[in-house]
Structure 1
Amino acid sequence: MITDDENSALVRAAARNNAEWCDAVCRAHGLAGEFGEGTWSSTRRTPPLYPDAVSLTPQASAADLAARIDTASPGCSVKDSFACLDLEPLGFEVLFEAQWICREAGRTAPVTTALRWETLRSAASLPAWEKAWNDGEEGNGLFRPELLDGDSTFLAARSEGRIVAGAIATRGASVVGVSNLFATGDAPDAEESAWAGVLTEVTGLWPGLPVVGYESGESLDAAVRQGFTPIGPLRVWLHTA
């Protein structure tokens, strides 16, 4: 059972972990993000699907976050990790809402399927992983080889030699963050099965750490069925003015 104090600390840890992953992606693309007091931000536009700023505490200022980023470039966005910022007066609108989730450390790994999971080791394996993650569409090199040498681990499951599921696990100081989870195919339990496989891998690598991430809708339901607990809301804002 997670107490209120533990819940608050886990949300902060999840937000920090996610910002560290965003920072790693940016640095792999030659962009230097900056961790400030209660924020992470990039003065230059970040790669597609990645925010330009992330709030790390509920006390972060909307005006301060907006001042740190390039709102003149199309696609500028802010991850409001505590769903408490009012960015509308600054020209933003809510892009989507989600829930931070946590699976406590020490829980038994779920029963997995017959899929064979592996850790990607070579840069040559990244294009196939990105294509599977991108619903079968050729990628544009979003996930650079430099990411294989940091704190993040690319996980993949294969069927008949083809990648059919995967995720990225980022080791932080006190949590492991799982992001970019995907499962191909139309099976109703495909995503839940992917969670089971990923959790087996992650709990084997880092058995003493809680696992965190964020999800919404049916993806959130699948995570909850695999033992996650929603611990707090977040919003992503897109600059439209």
Structure 2
Amino acid sequence: MASYSFNHAERYAVYTTHGDRCYICTRPIDLASFHVDHVIPVSLLDDSNRLAGVLRDLGRTDDFDLNSFANWLPACPPCNTSKNALVWEPSLLVQKYLQAAGSKAEQARQRAEKVVRNQEIGKVLNTLFRVHEQGGLDDETKAQLAILISDYSKDHAANAEPDVVRLTPTYTAPLFEILSDNGTSRVVRGPYGTGGGPSQNSDPRLDCSACGYSYFNGVRCVICGNMDDD
């Protein structure tokens, strides 16, 4: 039976590009234990005649690559296990799934390539997955994950939870550190340096136009790096 083994760079790219929720049930997922699902099952590669019919019914060309970012979305383990080799019936919903994967395929591919080029991130991903399989993260390992948290902060999907990254089922890390807060103003350290803003912002004009936070160092948002000088 046809199958595909995802590498760490591909898994990380799918997770950061599409967000931290299962595309089927929308429940939260974490980086270490989530599954990458083939929207159109890879098992169809064993039956070329049926595959051709499914691709035609779903409006995909004959050369559509099942083993590509255009067919991969993040899923929780129960949904992926339950779906298994199920072929979705042609519908607006499955078209939505395929459109979501296809529209961000190039973005995901570039992120995977970045991980391959950046050996430090690759090593941290190896550490995360290995230690998770062993059953837990100690404080030393959590400190090693700082580079991964910083990278995720810069590249995570717009629909992902904005304040944290779920690294394992039991460990969720903040995307920025609050250094001080006197009840009126707050100083935070983010991926793009240290900056300040109001503790509770009630004026949307002070928000970063890209991420919605209001923590700036000069005109640069320290959370997403946007240069917002309006």
Q: For this structure pair, what is the TM-score category when the shorter chain's length is used for normalisation?
A: under 0.3
If the length of structure 1 is used for normalisation, what is the TM-score?
0.26
Report 1 or 2 for greater relative contact order, CA contacts < 8 Å, sequence distance ≥ 6.
Answer: 1
Q: Flag the structure with higher helix content.
A: 2
- Pick the structure with greater CA Rg: 2
